[in-house]
Amino acid sequence: MKLVVGEGSCGIAAGAAKVYDALEQAIGEKDIHLGITGCIGMCFLEPIVDVYDDNGELGARLVKVNPAQAGRIVDAVSSGDLSSIQKLMIKDEDKTFLDKQTRIVLRHCGKIDPTSIDDYLDDDGFQALGAVLDHMQPEEVIDEIKTSGLSGRGGAGFPTWFKWNAARHAPGDEKYLICNADEGDPGAFMDRAVLESDPFSLIEGMIIGAYAIGCKDAFVYVRAEYPLAIKRLENALKIAEERNYLGDHILGSDFSCHIHIKAGAGAFVCGEETALIASLEGERGMPRLKPPFPAESGYNGKPSNINNVETFANVAWIIHNGGKEFAKLGTEGSKGTKVFALSGKIRRGGLVEVTMGKTLREVIFDIGGGIRDGKEFKAVQLGGPSGGCIPASRLDTIIDYKALQATGAIMGSGGMVVMDESTCMVNTAKFFLEFTSKESCGKCVPCRLGTKRLLEILTRICAGEGKEGDVELLEELCNAVKDGALCGLGQTAPNPVLTTIHYFRDEYDAHIRDKSCPAKQCADLVTYRIDPEKCTGCTACSLRCPVKAIHGVAKSPFEIEQSLCIKCGSCYNNCHFGAITRE
């Protein structure tokens, strides 16, 4: 028997490491193997402990486990009777989260030990690399990727084969391959999960890509805020080199390639490929004019190819199963699958991988389980700060690059933040502009100043100081920033503003004309009052108020002193009698 604890960042944050320690102590001398795996994607159920039988089959999945339950789990597993831990087992309704997915990028996540190359080898690991080095020419590899229809999963959706082909045929013998793992979108954690849970897939995909373009040195540019991902990738690179799947004369062939890690400082703009290259060279991460494109002049002025983690994680599967098999999945213009980080006001949040062509409704409601707390769906922010808000009326939009662009949003790297009826869309636009204005590198005026002016107007509107003409001014500024910005950060920063104006214009009008926030989220436009008819004088609100703005006598109605109230909502959230209203 074997117990496996999910130890991705999400699991560890929920207490998985403590669960592991408790299980280890409870097992003692018992004949039970204890191991770890990465994130299976069911972040809403962490910590997760999987029970495997002697044949290696999954016998039970235990969810929301805490250290105090370790002894009971070990006793049940040791006796072979799991009935005593039935209540810890995953519910049938939550199993649909995985049942409705198609996993290629995440095929190993939550199944193998990310620190063990043998686990990876047992699941077809490095077979694609072996086939490539044994009997495929670089051009044949590129043709197979072309047949698959794989496009870059970093957001732009550019054909992967075209970039590889351009780098291969660029003049010069010194070429570089770079993996962009600088995942900076709020609400996105796809790349982190792959690095933590299946680093060998990334390594295999990168070596195949390096062979295709004729590269001897490759880099993974990963944000330093991912310490566990870096640790597991470093371990995987070391083991892969020891086993000759990386380094000199790989698998006895004439091909050699080394992979290096560069930890970035966390600048969002370094997700743009030329800014990433500048940072990799030791310069400040700022974008450069294109052309020349990196395939012509990239790292150190040499031909370079850049793809993100998810793109490379598809490569070994495509080579092993054939490009035609990959091309059977998805739509005419968007092949294969796409990984999304499903978060926000959703019942089942986590990592989701679905075939292109699925609708947003299927992902959010069939897989994600819909909106939590019985509230109504309002919008989904797709593509992070570079994307847009898609309303309920567009829920049947399919996941396809062109279809999503038609809504005003973009696929992006895969962040999918779900919002309910309590979300203020004006404040949402303000949130993303706060992010992009801070993350702007400042090199070009349209982005440096334009995002700040947009943020100033949105801040004024949310504070109840908006005026007629502000919406039109926002639209004019948005178009000026989009047209004039140097790189993708500035060119896409206005998307959240433009989409919220397009789909939720009535909320802007309410903020400006009525000085009210329909979602009752903008603090300057909200007033909290106590209904004396409903107030029991329980004192809960007074005790919770951080500024002592609520006064009264126990068992008698209390009052809020409006001049002191900071609109934090603590009283509203902690009143058990519905006596506090938010107007």
Q: Note whether 303 and 345 are same-domain residues.
A: no
User: Of the given ranges (13-17, 213-217, 254-258, 262-266), which has the lowest mean pLDDT?
Assistant: 262-266
Domain identity same for 463 and 404? no
Mean pLDDT value of segment 552-559:
94
Find the CATH number of the domain harbouring 378. 3.10.20.600
**271-298: pLDDT as tens digits:** 899 999 999 999 999 999 899 999 999 9
Give residue 184's pLDDT band: very low, low, confident or very high (50, 70, 90).
confident
What digits encode the pLDDT tens for the residues 411-456? 888 889 999 999 999 999 999 999 999 999 999 999 999 999 999 9
pLDDT average, residue stretch 307-320? 97
Residues 232 and 345 in one domain: no
Percent of the chain whose pLDDT exceeds 90: 91
The CATH number of whichever domain residue 54 belongs to comes to 3.40.30.10
Residue of 528, 532, 526 whose CA lies nearest to 545: 528
Is there a single domain that holds both residue 484 and residue 532?
no
- Split at pLDDT 50, 70, 90, the class of 464 is very high
Q: What is the pLDDT of residues 118-143, one digit of tens each?
A: 999 999 999 999 999 999 999 999 99
| CA distances, 155 to each of 339, 363, 364 (Å) | 12, 19, 20
pLDDT attached to residue 186: 81
Q: Are residues 182 and 293 in the same domain?
A: yes
Three-class SS of residue 578? Answer: coil
Q: Are 175 and 215 in contact (CB under 8 A)?
A: yes
pLDDT per position as a tens digit, 491-533: 999 999 999 999 999 999 999 999 999 999 999 999 999 999 9
In this structure, is residue 295 part of a structural domain? yes
Average pLDDT over residues 338-366: 96
Q: How far is CA 118 from the centre of its chain?
A: 28
Residues 260, 153 share a domain:
yes
How many domains, the chain?
5
For residue range 28-85, list pLDDT tens digits in order: 989 999 999 999 999 999 999 999 998 889 999 999 999 999 999 999 999 989 999 9
* Domain finish residue from 297, 327, 357: 327
253 has pLDDT over 90: yes
Looking at residue 154, which CATH number applies to its domain? 3.40.50.11540
Backbone angles phi, psi at 92, to 5 degrees: -60, -40
**Residues 208, 126 share a domain:** yes
Query: How far apart are the two ends of the chain, measured CA to CA in Å?
Result: 58
Residues 480 and 497 in one domain: yes
> pLDDT at position 59, please?
92
Distance CA 32, CA 1 (A): 5
Q: Which residue has the higher pLDDT, 265 or 517?
A: 517
Identify whether 204 is part of a domain.
yes
Residues 161 and 27 in one domain: no
Same domain, 171 and 275: yes
104 belongs to a structural domain: no
Q: What is the pLDDT of residue 259?
A: 98
CATH number reported for the structural domain that contains residue 555 in this entry: 3.30.70.20
Two tokens at 291? 């052309």
Query: For residue 318, what are its two tokens?
Result: 């495509």
**Residue where a domain stops, chosen among 514, 539, 558:** 514
Give the DSSP H or E segment for 79. helix 70-79
Domain final residue, candidates 273, 294, 327? 327
For position 100, what pLDDT does the model report?
Answer: 93
Residue 73, token pair as written in the block: 């789990």
Strands 304-308 and 176-181: parallel
Specify the long-range contacts of residues 531-536, CB closer than 8 Å, at least 24 apart.
531/579, 531/580, 531/581, 532/557, 534/577, 534/578, 534/579, 535/577, 535/579, 536/577, 536/579
- Average per-residue pLDDT in the chain? 95
155 has a pLDDT exceeding 80: no
Q: Domain range spanning residue 85?
A: 2-90
Q: Are residues 217 and 267 in the same domain?
A: yes
The Cβ of residue 95 has, within 10 Å, a number of other Cβ atoms equal to: 12
Assess whether pLDDT exceeds 90 at residue 367. yes
In this structure, are 554 and 471 located in the same domain? no
Q: Is the pLDDT reported for residue 156 higher than 80?
A: no
pLDDT (tens digit per residue) in 569-582: 999 999 999 999 99
Mean pLDDT computed over 548-552:
95
User: What are 444's two structure tokens?
Assistant: 């070009």
